[in-house]
Chains A and B, each alone.
Chain A
């Protein structure tokens, strides 16, 4: 047949070496992307593992000790009247002489501010999404979408600055709150950061509902709101739900806003008008002072790993719902 040594049509062994090198780098970039996500978890968890394994760390803190309350007869558990008080039995005081690492105040703080943020952001963002996709003329759409993009473009440190300088003062004056920096202030600031992502995902979901749904409903005599409430919204439910989940993920992970406007006091209380601490703000505030390799250092990384897992799961769930919506509306 044809001799590969003579016929140029046949592939010679050497091929094109430098093109193969480029192709290799392109393929490996994909690996780097996956590796980045994996490495983030690995390197954060790596510094958290001593909390589970190191005997030296265990002398100061263990995972059960971070959850369980101080005994009732412990000196720190007693209030000014000498009686044990629930909120005093979970102190977060990493400093000497006797470091105490109870997670409950941080957990309650995080949940408090997330709750306030979502309470504020979800109705506003979803309401605005419904208005722009079902009801608003083009003008409102040209106004709201750019405004939301502007809001999304504001760095979180600027929102935190605004919450601290302006929002806190205004809230304190208007509602006569004792503590200027609290979960309401931080929560509203956080809500501002969450609104863009909730609005965008919800609006996408509502717009993706085919016009034929709306037309069919109008043909049966429904007005715009009945159509929106009983036809469009139910059809877009997975997407709107995804918007909420992704918004919650953003709220839990956000650091700067809470760091700047929460008051950074790790007291355990359900009262949203008191200063508090969140998980992410704790890491940001204390990592600078935790000596490398100390139990405090490992605890902070443990909290970081925990945050990673929670937000990862929330993001996974959120995107899964978006895909479900896409499939549902396609056929």
Chain B
């Protein structure tokens, strides 16, 4: 499998605080890459650096290389709007925008000027997020009327409407009930066929369930990265072993 995203010696700061230290990592096309580690380890900073969402923080500074399809995302003149459509992000807390379910889904395509025949795409994305059956008759209702788990699946569907190549999921199931979590994990397995997924998760078990490969971050450093089974059963580093076995967290 080819690498779709490549980091080399990538470091990131918020002001004087060093959040990521010289990360070198590959994301392979078509895989689900799990990113695990305790709080403060730099997981969120990592995926937000991939679609340059960190640019919104005025104190953010980056060094090193992030390559996507051969383009250096920090040094080449990249159109951020296009980048963020190719690398779609879902946040930890569901953020439905004011409006109906349909309007939320149509928001992404409408930014690009795409109007008209979205119904087919809406149905496809809602099906892919395992939300279609529950909302197919209520598309004009307010998005805020949905439950937490439904809202998060809506956010997933909303991101899928952009037809991204990579999905960046920042702890998407935190705060969701087990049923919603299971539905999202099931959706990811289906989506894997078409998109690459980077899944940041606080829940070590989730990584072991979903991810093909797993990367373990601790205090801004990439400790270890490899096939999920190897990370969990036979990790190379002692800290990895301690973390996945729950000795600290």
Contacts and interface: CB of A to CB of B under 8 A. Distances in A.
A8 B79 contact: yes
Contacts of B77: 4, 10-11
Nearest to B71: A2
B245 to A, nearest CB: 41
B69 interface: yes
Interface string A137-155: 0000000000000000000
A268 B179 CA distance: 87
A21 interface: no
Contacts of B76: 1-2, 10
Nearest to B79: A11
B223 interface: no
A1 B70 contact: yes
B78 to A, nearest CB: 6
A93 B123 CA distance: 85
Nearest to A12: B79
A9 interface: yes
B136 to A, nearest CB: 33
Interface string B63-87: 0000011110000111100110010
- Most A C-beta atoms less than 10 A away, residue of B70, B76, B78: B76
A11 B76 CA distance: 9
A10 B78 contact: yes
A23 interface: no
Nearest to A4: B77
Main secondary structure of the interface of B (DSSP, over half): mixed
A163 to B, nearest CB: 49
Interface in A4-20: 4, 7-12
Interface residues of B, number: 11
Contacts of B71: 1-2, 7, 9-10
A23 to B, nearest CB: 14
A133 B69 CA distance: 63
Contacts of A9: 68-69, 71, 78-79, 82-83, 86
A158 to B, nearest CB: 41
A199 B70 CA distance: 64
A11 B86 CA distance: 14
Nearest to B83: A9
Nearest to A8: B82
- Most B C-beta atoms less than 10 A away, residue of A7, A8, A9, A12: A9
A1 B79 CA distance: 16
Contacts of A1: 70-71, 76
Contact of A2 (B70, B79, B83, B86): B70
A295 to B, nearest CB: 54
B69 A2 contact: yes
Contacts of A7: 69, 71
B105 to A, nearest CB: 23
Contacts of B82: 8-9
A7 to B, nearest CB: 7
A1 B67 CA distance: 11
Contacts of A8: 79, 82
A12 B76 CA distance: 12
Contacts of B78: 9-11
Interface string A75-109: 00000000000000000000000000000000000
Contacts of B69: 2, 7, 9
A10 B68 CA distance: 12
Nearest to A7: B71
A7 B82 CA distance: 11
Interface in B119-168: none
A1 B68 CA distance: 11
- Most A C-beta atoms less than 10 A away, residue of B68, B70, B79, B83: B79
A8 B76 CA distance: 13
A162 to B, nearest CB: 47
A2 B79 CA distance: 14
A111 B82 CA distance: 65
Given A2-B70, A9-B86, 11 more contacts: A1-B70, A1-B71, A1-B76, A2-B71, A7-B69, A9-B68, A9-B69, A9-B82, A9-B83, A10-B71, A10-B79
Interface of A: 1-2, 4, 7-12
11 contacts: A1-B70, A2-B69, A2-B70, A2-B76, A7-B71, A8-B82, A9-B69, A9-B79, A10-B76, A11-B79, A12-B79
Pairs of residues from A and B, 5 with the lowest C-beta to C-beta distance, nearest first = A11-B77, A11-B79, A2-B71, A2-B70, A9-B82
